[in-house]
Every structure is written in C-alpha cells, then in structure tokens.
C-alpha cells in the first residue's frame, strides 16, 4: 500500500514537472501572444459604443491585460473589461479606463474638432471608416489627438485644424504615424 502511494505520488510529481515547460512555453510563445493581442484588439474595436471620441489602449503581459484610455460613456468602460476577460489566454483584466466628465461644452468642442479634421481634403477619406483612426479626446476644453495619422503632414494638419477652434484651451498631438 505504501509503495503504491509513493509510486502514485512520484508519477504525479513527474507528470506535473514534465508539463511545467509546456505551460511556460505557452505563456511566452510569440505566436500565441500575437494571436491573443490581435483578438484583444479586435474585441475592443468591435465594441458597439466605441467611437472617434474614445481612446482605448491595452497592454498584454503574462496573461494580464491592463486597459487604459478615455471614454465618453461609462458603459464602454464596463463592456471593454467584459469582452477582454473572455478572450482565450487572458487570465486577468485590470481596467484603468478613465470615464470623461459629462459636459455640453466638451461635446460642442468634440463635434467642432471632428468637422475641422475630417472635412479637410485628404483627411476626409479617413472619415468613412467604421472608426476613423484619429481620435479626439476632450476634457474640460483641452483636446488630445490620439491614434494614427497616415503621414506627418496629416498629423500636423489635424493638430492645426483643432488648435484654431474657438473655446479650445490647449491641443496635445499624440498621433502616431502609420507604418508603410
């Protein structure tokens, strides 16, 4: 009896330690990480209330997803956390998304900034996308441009268009340039 228990314990220990490298490889396999990050991105972009006035960012590391950014609607923060938690390979979600304060003043700036950017010749082609790549974040009259611009020139044009609007206190240009 003692020999069979010791044998069973030994077999279980060997099996456990034999599977550890496979589990470790699964967490650090670059292809699995890439697939998981693509799934996370897809889930966030497909959220029903995600718009040009929201900015969602994430960091995926060791099965933990940290969500950051700014959203206009509180429900979008909740939905982002829920859909990311369901992605295969995600063990934990840390939701640090900021919900922007409700403000008619900021809403008017959002609309004016959208029109100023996406009515420009050349940038107007970006407006037909489901979620245009240049996101307009407005907090208490201060505007931050987030996302991706096709070129440095387009980034500068978007910045100048918003910077010339009335009632805008400051503009910060965080646009990344699209990789060719």
Give the mean pLDDT per block of 10 residues along the chain (180 residues).
43 41 55 91 93 95 94 96 94 96 96 96 89 95 96 95 96 89
Q: What is the pLDDT of residue 22?
A: 43
Q: What is the pLDDT of residue 161?
A: 96
Per-domain boundaries in the chain: 48-100, 104-177
Whether 139 contacts 55, CB under 8 Å: no
CATH number for the region 104-177 comes to 3.30.1340.30
The shares of helix, strand and coil residues in the chain, as percent rounded to the nearest 5, are 45, 25, 30
Q: What is the pLDDT of residue 28?
A: 65
C-alpha angle 111/113/118, rounded to 5°?
95
Whether 54 contacts 69, CB under 8 Å: yes
Q: What is the pLDDT of residue 19?
A: 42
Tokens of 107: 């809403």
Residue of 150, 146, 162, 152 lying closest to 123 (CA atoms): 150
Q: What is the pLDDT of residue 27?
A: 54
Q: What is the pLDDT of residue 163?
A: 95
């Amino acid at each position: 009896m003692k020999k069979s228990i010791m044998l069973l314990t030994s077999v279980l220990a060997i099996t456990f330690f034999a599977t550890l490298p496979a589990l470790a490889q699964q967490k650090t396999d670059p292809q699995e990480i890439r697939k998981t990050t693509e799934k996370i991105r897809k889930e966030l972009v497909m959220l029903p209330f995600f718009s040009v006035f929201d900015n969602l960012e994430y960091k995926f590391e060791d099965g933990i997803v940290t969500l950051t950014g700014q959203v206009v609607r509180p429900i979008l923060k909740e939905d982002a956390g829920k859909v990311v938690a369901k992605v295969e390979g995600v063990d934990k979600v840390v939701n640090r998304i900021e919900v922007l304060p409700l403000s008619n003043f900021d809403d008017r700036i959002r609309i004016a900034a959208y029109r100023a950017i996406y009515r420009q010749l050349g940038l107007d082609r970006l407006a037909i996308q489901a979620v245009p790549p240049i996101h307009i974040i407005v907090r208490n009259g201060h505007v931050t441009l987030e996302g991706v611009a096709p070129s440095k020139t387009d980034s500068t044009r978007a910045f100048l268009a918003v910077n010339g609007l009335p009632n805008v206190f400051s503009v910060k240009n965080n646009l990344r340039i699209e990789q060719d």
